Structure 1
């Protein structure tokens, strides 16, 4: 009989500890190594400390911090208790993070201390919900912050048995995380997924990437995203490899780590590889250890794939497609696919997942017919947190999850994405939802009406352009306005271009014609960048 895979994160990690106990599990940016056995001990201690703070199975615990070894330690402890992890984007401001904390009901927040000139505990203070009982600072603590070491000190000496009792109750159906993704309503929605479905997706991704315990995985993709979390550090630890968290992308620092630590696996959005190639042109560097990558999250030029293969030297270069609502993965190319397939498609559905295209009447379409991409299978989320109506709108009675993306499947079953039903655009690998950005901008006292669209950008893939009708006789200074935006929202959401208008184009029912604005934005930005 075929052995069954472990169905929970704590079970998967315990298996890795048994097999790779003395090998490196995590290596920080200073070269400090944490072995699998050491990480296991810290996991237990952190879980015991959470129990001492009152966290129980089924509770929600948030992490708002850049990639670090402490991020992984905290996450493993959360999973081990059967609590749900709530990652928060580090680019978010206090108001945005506060909404997620309130909506999720998180009892504890792990956050950065001083990061990129901001003190995260101070950012959240004015927006702290009553449900949040404790803030723990993972690194760079200041003043009266409860730092990581002090937090670990809360663990009673006899907490191991209580932690084991919690671990024993975690199974494939236990909620693993609640990851917030914005929607067309402008308010983030919590995507609920379970341990078993996530681990199954990660195994499929790992098989395609040919991961092994001999790999050394540099994770630049942010841990608050499925790319850096699920098929990032968690995939690495599942396979007994050494994982190297990188807090901030810096081309020189990344190349230094690749050379020094002989990194073998390095996924990332196209912008990462553009930066690496630019840095390589400045001087000879040794990247020969690299063997596998997967890119996506934006349009990928054929020339970029060829350069990644030929100039950087990757043996495996893949593209794929996924959403937060599908545990991060829907389709993947295969290692032996030709360059044209890798460039022009997102690959085929992973095993045991159905992907089809559907017309407006709900009819499934055949090969080469264009319609909305729908997904059905074990990777589809449990639902949106406390939002039954949104869940019913997203997942129909036949179990199809409606992605909002438009595309077609070829005769081989390879997916091509041709358009989006939604207005979302992707800036530097981050999803940007105009409705959310418009809602935040509308609070500015000089803004009467606003519409945001995405426009192409050579480096970031896409950037935002805001069309604004001022309120009354108000005037809008562009520099001051952008500075205000940076205080209200994550910096990747801040529009790159601002256009002041007397009115916005609308149809007969008064709806803003986004397609007309996109056409105007494309012409305007082409002229400005020419």
Structure 2
């Protein structure tokens, strides 16, 4: 079975410079971004953001950065990030976001693999100094231009150029050249190289064009009915597709105010949402789990929220029920995507009923189609599918087949309405007594146990059955969750071969740099 989306409006820019110019024309006095994290509030309207981006691009040109060169950004969410990212595009260059959880060594590896000509990197922040560490330990591996993002008043390390000093490099000539570069950016030019999280090995550089990127960003924004009255609380990291392609770029396309948050906590998110009257709040399932479980939640006014969007391969059904019921949000949407599709494969809509939202990932995004292989693997094809992996044609050929279908590695079903339901990762399935067990199904049941905050189920060897399930749980600090009670609950709700034979309570889960649980490290 396959499913394809209905077409939507095609009236939107196909490059980010064109999108930013349109935003400056359409909403010149509208607020583009408000960032109060570093002392005094920084608030830019769309005309001012456009000018800031142009200034950054002019500085890149003056520094010798050419069209098609790569510029890496290693920094948390702040107003500097969209200026640098959009400025990179405006100068005709290619953006390479770096995960803020990387070690300096991991960051350098990506900088070298992408042949970055410049690095925009944060200074001292939460006890770490990415810029200082890079220059102290890896100076010989860095490009000539290391641009320091001032998140504190710490000194700029030798070998780096300060943010303000860098912006001052621009000249009338380089500013004019930046405008020419922006004019010359083609929809089929590379916009970014985003490295996968590497849960099964070395990370891969996913290459996407402006056309592919903005097709997804526009489809996401149109589906959420974004408009220039919206204020978008941005807890998703900008280095991730959820923060960049489903965050910054839809705001540019629809004139939405950006409210960046560099360090997530339930309290910080709720305070920012209340103070700025946020209307749109996308986030990973764990974000909403922590907010719902926060004992101080009722002390924050979240009534301005109209849209919550969450997504992952698997989203606990009970979580969707609670978001709608306990936060009182008008619209809750679940979606599914992966970096190789710019983050966009399928989505529910505001018109879907609660059962559809709670139990499926919706239909294909506009411009995409989905299908299932004979093995039940989810396949995706369409406007958002990547060009390929950086310097890895073999991996590209193994992922995108001759008919253009991208093999996601996820197992799923598609119902008669075209709704996709992800049942598990292909690699996570195990066989118990001859029966296939998909851990995600078990994890959905575990999520309904009072006190359980997160779960992961793996198959472990068993002499009689081949493999049996072992469940790992994190629980609330005030909760009492016992192994026998967990297993008994599972027996009430699952067939016997799906019931975990053992349960282990853990303080935390091992995670990769994107926060995904590393099941291979559980035992």
TM-score range, shorter chain: 0.7 to 0.9
221-230 vs 4-13, which moves further:
4-13
- Verify the 8 A CA contact 2:321 2:358 in the aligned structure 1: no
Question: How far apart, in 2, do the equivalents of 1:44 and 1:525 lie?
Answer: 58
Question: How far apart, in 2, do the equivalents of 1:322 and 1:245 lie?
Answer: 22
Q: How does 1:66-465 map to 2 (within 5 A)?
A: 66-125=76-135, 126-127=137-138, 130=141, 132-139=143-150, 140=152, 141-144=154-157, 145-183=160-198, 186-279=201-294, 281=296, 283-297=298-312, 299-360=314-375, 371-423=376-428, 461=454
- Verify the 8 A CA contact 1:292 1:316 in the aligned structure 2: yes
1:57 match: 67
Cα offsets for 1:489-529 (capped at 9, x unmatched):
xxxxxxxxxxxxxxx9699xxxxx9x949638686972436
TM-score by length of 2: 0.79
TM-score by length of 1: 0.78
Number of residue-to-residue matches in the alignment: 446
Cα offsets for 1:180-210 (capped at 9, x unmatched):
0144761111000010111111111111111
344-353 vs 136-145, which moves further:
136-145
Query: How far 1:52 moved relative to its partner?
Result: 1.8
What SS does the corresponding residue of 1:417 show, helix, strand or coil? strand
- Verify the 8 A CA contact 2:313 2:422 in the aligned structure 1: no
2:17 match: 10
Q: CA RMSD in A?
A: 2.8
What runs of 5+ residues in structure 1 fail to find an aligned partner? 361-370, 425-455, 468-503, 508-512
- Verify the 8 A CA contact 1:184 1:422 in the aligned structure 2: no
Question: How far apart, in 2, do the equivalents of 1:196 and 1:255 lie?
Answer: 35
Cα offsets for 1:196-230 (capped at 9, x unmatched):
11111111111111100010111110000010111
Query: How far 1:462 moved relative to its partner?
Result: 5.0
- Verify the 8 A CA contact 2:457 2:471 in the aligned structure 1: no
- Verify the 8 A CA contact 1:358 1:374 in the aligned structure 2: yes
Question: How far apart, in 2, do the equivalents of 1:384 and 1:213 lie?
Answer: 35
Query: How far 1:146 moved relative to its partner?
Result: 2.1
- Verify the 8 A CA contact 1:98 1:129 in the aligned structure 2: no
2:439 match: none
Query: How far 1:152 moved relative to its partner?
Result: 0.6
Choose between structure 1 and 2 for higher RCO, CA contacts under 8 A separated by at least 6 residues.
2
Question: How far apart, in 2, do the equivalents of 1:3 and 1:337 lie?
Answer: 23
What SS does the corresponding residue of 2:60 show, helix, strand or coil? helix
